Chains A and B, each alone.
Chain A
Amino acid sequence: MATATSSEETLFNDDERKHKKLLEAISSMGGRKRKKQSERSEASVQVSEFFVNAEGTGEKVNISDLLGTVEKTSGASNKTKKQLRNLQNSKGTLALPLNKQQTEKIQRGIAYEKTTKENQKAEQIVFPLNQESSGPKQVEQVVAGWKAQTPLEQEIFRLLHSNSQPVNDPVLTPVEEASLKAMSLEEAKIRRAELQKTRALQSYYEAKAKREKNIKSKKYHKIQKKGKRKEFLKQFEEMVKTNPEGALEELKKMELSRMEERMSLKHQNSGKWAKSKAIMAKYDDSARKAMQEQLQMNKDLTQKIVVPSDDEHESNEEGLETVPDFVNDPEPIIDPVNPWMRGQLTHEEPEVSCVTTDEPQTAEQENEEEELIGEFERKRKLRQADEEDLIPTEEQKPESEVVEEDVVEVSDKEEEEDEEEEDVSEFNTLFRFMRSEKTLEEDEEGLLNEGQIRVRNIEDLEVLAEDVDPQPIAAPSLPQTAVGEATSEPPNKKKSEIDLKEVLTKDAKVVQVPFLPTVDHDEQISIIKEAFAGDDVISDFIKDKRKQEAAGKPKVVDLTLPGWGEWGGVGLKPSRWKRKRFRIKMASSPPRQDRKLPDTIISENRNTSIASHQVSQLPFPFQNTAQFESCIRTPIGQTWNTQGVVKKMTKPKVITKLGAIIEPMVKEDFINKTTTSAGKGPAIMLGENKRANKGREWSSAKHQGRRGSQKRKKQQT
C-alpha cells in the first residue's frame, strides 16, 4: 500500500508540474514576453549599496562565507551538504584559461581541419563561396549598407524620423510587414495564377470583341442586336426588382431614344432604300419582309414605355394571367408565302387548325411550367431536328419547319401592330414563338406517327435518347452485314483450297505449310544427294577440333642431353630416370571453353587489340578488380541514360565563377556555413528581435565606434 500511495503522490506532483507548465505556456503566449526578474543569487562582494551593506569590502570571499548558512538550513539534503563540505576541503585550483590568441589559434586549426575534410568529401564545391544570387534582390538587402550623406538625404531622413517611418533596418512599415507575413509563398502563387488567368481572359475577350467588331455581315449584327435587346430586357426586369433607380434611368434613356425616333424619319420607309424596296415588294418576298421589319423597328422604338409603378408586381401577375388565353389559342399553319393572312384569323376560328382539340388543354396544364421549360424546349427542338436529319426519308421536314418558324415570327410581329395594348411585346413574341414551335412539333407527330416520339420532360427525353439511338446504328448495320458476308465467303473458299493443299502436304510432318513450294522433285533429290555426298562433315569437324585442342596444349620441354653420364650413340635412348629428370612439364593450361560442346570450337586466343583500350592497372582506392569493375559498370553516356542522370553523373567537382576572385575562407564564411546548414534564422533579421539586437549593439558599441554611432542615432529617435 505504501508503494501505491507514493506513486499516487508522484502522480499528483507530476500533474501539478504539468499544470504549472501549461499556465506558463499560456501566459507566455499572450503578447510580449516579460522576462521575469529572477532573484539575485550571485555571490559577490559588492552587490549593491542599497540592498546589502558592504561590510567586507575588498576582502577575499571564501567558500565558507557562502556556504556557512547551508549547514543551518533544514531544506538542504544531507547529500548536498556532504558534497559541499568536500568541495570546501579540496585544495585543487582550476587551471588558468588560455589567452585569447592561443584559443583562437586552436579554434582556427580545428575549423581548418573540419572544413578541408568536408570539402574533400563534398561532391561539388562552388567558388567563390558566398555568391550573391543573380535574381532580383530584396529592397532591404540593397538599402542595408547605405547611409544618408547629402543634406537633402538627411532632411528626408529627418522627416521620416519625425513621422516615425522606418528608416534603415526594417525597411517595411509594420503594416507592410504584417501583410508580407500574411501572404505566404503558396498564397502568392495562387494569387499570381489568378491574376494571370484574369489577364488572359481579358485578352481573350478583347480579341473576341475585336473580331466581332470586324464582322461585316449585316445579318450577323442584326441577330446580335436582337439578342442584346432580349438580354437587356431581361436585365431590365431584374433591375426593376433590384435597382429601381437604375431602371428609371434606363427608362429615361429609352424615352429619349423614342423621342429621337419620333422626330426623325429614320425607320419610316421613306428613304431611298425603302422606296426601292417598296417597288420590289410586289414581287419579292424578302424585300417585303425587310420593309416590314423596318416598320416594326419604328414601332418598337416609338412605343410608349410604361413606367413601372408601385403595383408593378400585380401587373406582372396580370400579365401572366392574360398570357394564357392569348397564347392557348392554337396557331394554324397557313401558307408560308402569305404571312399577312395570319393573326386575327386564328382567334376567330381555332377549329380550323389541324391540331387536335385536346392540345389546348394540355397546354393549359403546362402553362406555368412553360416559362421555365422554354429554354429547354428550344434545345430539345433543335436536337429533334438533328435526329430528323439522320433519317433520309424525313429530310424535307426540318427545312419546311424552319421556314415556318420564320413565318411565324413575322406574323407575330404583324399581330403586335394590331394589339398595341400589349405592353411587353417582346416577351409575348418570344412566348408565341415557343407556342408555335410546340404546335409544329405536335403536327409533326400527327404526320409521322411511326417515326417521331414527342418529348415532354426530362424522363421522356431519356426515353427518346434510348429509342432514337438504335436508328443511326441500324443504318450502318446493313453494310456491316454485307461486309460480314463478304468476309465470310472468302475464308470458305480458301479453306477448300487449303484443304486440298493440306492433303498434299501431309507427308510433311514437322511443319504444316499452307502452300507447297513448286520445286522439281528430281532437282530436290539431286540437291539432297549433293548435300549428303560428303557425309563425313562430322568426322572432319572432329578432326579439326582435335587439332585445335592439341595446338592449345602446353608442350613438354625435353632438356636431356644424350651421352652425359652414360653411353651415347645411334639407337641408344637416354635412361628412364634421366628422361624423367630433364623433361619439364609445363603447367597445364586452363580448361578449354568448348570442352563440353562437342560440335563447337571456341578460339582460345586472347583478343590483344582491345587491351590497349582496357584498364590494366587498378586505380587507387580499389583493392581488387571486382570492386573497380562494379564501379564502372554503369555507363555515363547519354545513349544509355536519361538527361538528368547524365548531368548528375558528369557534374564537375569544382565550379568557379569566371572572373571572380576566390578569397581565402574567413571565420564568417565558416560560421555562416554552419548556421545555414543548421537551418537557423535568416541572414537579415527583421522587426521581431529588434530589442535583442539593441541590447547587443550597446554592448558592442565600444568596439565598433563607427557602427555604434550609427546605431545610437537610431536609438535617439
Chain B
Amino acid sequence: FRKMEQEMLKCLFLGFGLQKIRYPCSKKDPFPGEAPIPHKQLQKFQRGEKYKVPAGARRRLKEAIISSEAMSELAQKQAARYDLLLPEDAGFLEGDEDEDTNTISQDDIADAVDITSGSKYFNLHLSQFGPYRLDYGRTGRHLLVGGKKGHVACIDWQSKDLMCEMNVMETVNDVKWLHTEAMFAVAQKRWLYIYDSKGLELHCVKKFNDVLRMQFLPYHFLLATASATGFLQYLDVSVGKEIAAVCTKMGRLDVMSQNPHNAVIHLGHPNGTVSLWSPNQKEPLVKMLCHRGAVRSLTVDKTGTYMVTSGLDRKLKVYDIRAFKPLHSCFLPAGASCLSLSQGGLLSAATGDIVQVYQNVLGSSPVSKPYMAHRLRGQIWGLAYCPFEDVLGIGHGEGFTSMIVPGAGEPNFDALDTNPFRSSKQRQEWEVKALLEKVQPELIGLDPGQLSKVDQASFEQRHKEQVEALGFDPLAKDKFKPKTKKKGRSSAGAIEKRKRKVAHEDQRDEIRQTVQERTERDKEQKEKSNEKKKLGNKSTLDRFRK
C-alpha cells in the first residue's frame, strides 16, 4: 500500500493527472513484487547476524559470502512466510470482575466447555497402589502411570483405552516413555526395566541400579537415570549401550529435570545446589546454589531459558539459565514438592495435596496469586503437562487426576516431529527418520550451536604443530628483507633506515585509517558549518542574484 501511495505521490509531483493511474483497467499489478513480510515475523526466524563483505575481500570470498547471505535471507523469508500456516492460538481462562480464576472449579470448567474438552477432566481412583508417578508420551496421546507399590499401566488417555496394566511386584520409583509409545522404562526397586506397550518385559538393565528418577532425551535417544547411589547414567536406547556413567558425588539423586533446548540434565541436591550435567564431562558443567535447604523439585522451560526450582526453604525461584542469574523468587506457604512447566509457559506447583498453576512466572515480575488451583485427595507425587493439550496430569496417593488448564498446551504441532494424530504407519516412518537424524551424545553441551563453530583450540594446536614441523609459520607475514644495494647504500645504517620505513606496517595502517576518518569527519563538519553560515548571511536581495 505504501508503495502505491508513493507512486501516486510521484505522479502528482511529476505533473501527471490522477486519471493516468487506472489500475483496474490496465493489466498492471497494483501491488508489484512480493508481498511484504512483517518485521516481527522476520525477526522471529533470524539466525545470527548478517555478515558484510569486508572491504578488501577477494573475489571468491566475496562470492561465497554473498551467496550464503542470500541463501540465509531467502530461508528466513520463506520461513516467515510459512508462519502463516500456524493459525492456532492459545486461550486462557478469564474471570469476571473481582472473580479470581483460581476459584473456578474443574467441574465448572468441564461443564462449560464442549464435551470432548470436558471429558479431559477425569479421575482414576487407584487408592491401592499409590502414590503414582506419571509420564505423557511425546505426542501427548499416551499416558503412563506407575504406582509406588508396583502398579504400572499405560493408557491412551483420550479414548480411555487401556493398553496394558500390570503389577511388577516391586517398588516403582519412576516411569518413562521411550521414543515411541511402543516402549517404556520403569525404574524398579533394584534394576531398570524396559517393557513394551503390551506389558511384556523387554530388558532388565542390571547396569542401572537403584534408579530414582529418569529423563528421556528424544533427539539423542538417551535415557538418563539418576540413582540413589549418586550415579548419573546414560543409556542409548537405539543401540542399548550405556554411553556414560558419571559419579556425581552428591548423594542421593531424587530431583532431576532436563533442558529440552540443549539436552543438559539438571540435578537438584540436598545441599541446595543444582548441577548441570552432560554425558561428556565427569564434573558438572555448572553448579549453582539455589536454595538454603535441599532442592525439592526443578523444571526447565522448553526454550531452555528459564529454570524454576523449589526447595525445602519453601521458596520458589526462577532462574535465567543462560546467564545463571536468579530472576525472582517467591515464598510459597507450604513449599512445592513437584514442579512442571507447560509448553505454554504455565507453571504448576504441587503444595501438599493442592496443585497450583501460575501464569506469567517466566516474566521479570514475581507472581502474586495462582491462575488456577485444584485440591486432590492424597499427597501429590507426580506432575506433568500433556503436550499439545490443555491438560495437566497429576499423580497422587489416591490415583491419577487429569486437570483442565486452559492455555497450557502448544496449539500448533509440527506433524513431522510430533504428530498427535499419527497413524501407526506414520509412526514407523517417523521412527526410521528420527533414528537417521539421531544426534550423537558427544554433541551435548551447554551451547547447542557449538557444532557450527570452528574449533579454535584445535586450530591453534594444529597451527603450533605445523610451525614446529615446518620450522616456520606458514600463515605469518614474511619479514621484510631489505635488498642489497650497491654503492654503499647497503650499509648497516641504510638498511636499518629502510627497515624502519616498513616497521609496524599493520599498526600504521590502522592509525592511517583512523586519521583519515577523523579528517573526513572534520571536513564534513566544516562544510556543514560553512553552509549554515552562508544561509545565515543571505539577505532578502540575494534571491535576485543569479
Contact = CB atoms under 8 A, between A and B. Distances in A.
Contacts of B60: 620-621
A614 B449 CA distance: 11
Contact of B442 (A507, A537, A538, A609): A609
B440 interface: yes
Contacts of A534: 271
Contacts of B313: 528, 531-532
A622 B288 contact: no
B331 interface: yes
A616 interface: yes
A601 interface: yes
Interface string B443-474: 10100001111111111001000000000000
Given A519-B334, A602-B286, A613-B442, A641 B102 contact: no
Interface stretch (B73-81, B186-194, B234-242, B522-530): B73-81
Nearest to A597: B324
A540 B333 contact: no
Nearest to B445: A607
Contact of A627 (B51, B271, B325): B51
Given A601-B287, A610-B443, A538 B64 contact: no
Interface in A628-668: 628-635, 638-642, 644-645, 648-649
B63 A121 contact: yes
A607 B283 CA distance: 11
A104 B202 CA distance: 79
Contacts of B417: 639
Contacts of A322: none
Interface residues of B, number: 91
Interface string B53-85: 010011011011101110110111011011000
B312 interface: yes
Contacts of B130: none
A89 interface: no
Given A611-B457, A634-B72, A617 B462 contact: yes
Contacts of A623: 54, 57, 61
A599 B281 CA distance: 21
B454 A537 contact: no
B355 to A, nearest CB: 10
Interface string A488-518: 0011001100100000010111111111111
A430 to B, nearest CB: 46
B399 interface: no
A518 B352 contact: yes
B450 A607 contact: yes
A517 B292 contact: no
Contact of A514 (B75, B103, B330, B368): B103
Contact of B105 (A494, A538, A627): A494
Contacts of A509: 331
Contacts of B354: 513, 515-517
B312 A537 contact: no
B352 A609 contact: no
B451 A530 contact: no
Contact of B68 (A515, A528, A531, A630): A630
A532 B330 contact: no
A621 B455 contact: no
A505 B280 contact: no
A613 B64 contact: no
Contacts of B54: 623, 627
Given A615-B455, A616-B462, A625-B456, A517 B312 contact: no
B459 A642 contact: no
A326 B67 CA distance: 90
Contacts of A628: 454
A532 B288 CA distance: 18
B293 A532 contact: yes
A510 B368 contact: yes
B79 A603 contact: no
Interface string B338-372: 00000000000001111010000000001111100
Contacts of A639: 416-417, 437
A616 B99 contact: no
Most chain A C-beta atoms within 10 Å of own C-beta, residue among B67, B81, B352: B352
Interface string B28-56: 00000000000000000001111100100
Interface string A388-430: 0000000000000000000000000000000000000000000
Contact of A645 (B78, B272, B332, B368): B78
Interface residues of A, number: 80
B86 to A, nearest CB: 13
Contacts of B284: 601, 603
A513 B65 contact: no
A645 B74 CA distance: 7
A517 B352 contact: yes
B422 interface: no
B375 interface: yes
Contacts of B440: 613
A622 B370 contact: no
B271 A524 contact: no
Nearest to B50: A630
B68 A631 contact: yes
A621 B103 contact: no
A629 B447 CA distance: 15
A594 interface: yes
B294 interface: yes
Contact of A630 (B49, B81, B458): B49
Contacts of A494: 103, 105
A538 B290 CA distance: 10
B399 to A, nearest CB: 17
B75 A649 contact: yes
Contacts of B462: 616-617
Nearest to B62: A621
Contact of B445 (A511, A610, A641, A645): A610
B330 A510 contact: yes
Contacts of A597: 324-325
A511 B68 contact: no
Nearest to B284: A603
Contact of B458 (A495, A505, A616, A649): A616
Contacts of A630: 48-51, 65, 68-69
A432 B140 CA distance: 68
A376 interface: no
A250 B278 CA distance: 95
Contact of B333 (A490, A511, A602): A511
A640 B71 CA distance: 13
B47 A633 contact: yes
B183 interface: no
Given A511-B332, A607-B281, A610-B451, A622 B273 contact: no
Contacts of A517: 333-334, 351-354
A535 interface: yes
Given A495-B103, A531-B313, A613-B442, A633 B48 contact: yes
Given A508-B333, A648-B74, A617 B65 contact: no
A611 B457 CA distance: 9
A241 to B, nearest CB: 40
A373 interface: no
A278 B293 CA distance: 104
19 contacts: A487-B112, A490-B108, A494-B103, A508-B332, A528-B313, A531-B311, A537-B271, A537-B273, A541-B273, A541-B289, A544-B287, A618-B459, A621-B64, A626-B51, A629-B452, A630-B49, A630-B51, A639-B437, A641-B75
Given A601-B286, A640-B75, 16 more contacts: A491-B103, A494-B105, A510-B330, A511-B330, A511-B332, A511-B368, A511-B370, A517-B333, A528-B313, A537-B273, A622-B61, A623-B57, A627-B65, A633-B72, A634-B72, A644-B78
Interface of A: 121, 123, 487, 490-491, 494-495, 498, 505, 507-519, 524, 527-528, 530-532, 534-535, 537-538, 540-541, 544, 594, 597, 599-603, 605-618, 620-623, 625-635, 638-642, 644-645, 648-649
Instruction: Kindly list the 3 A-B residue pairs having the minimum CB-CB distance in the complex, ordered from nearest.
Output: A517-B352, A531-B293, A630-B51
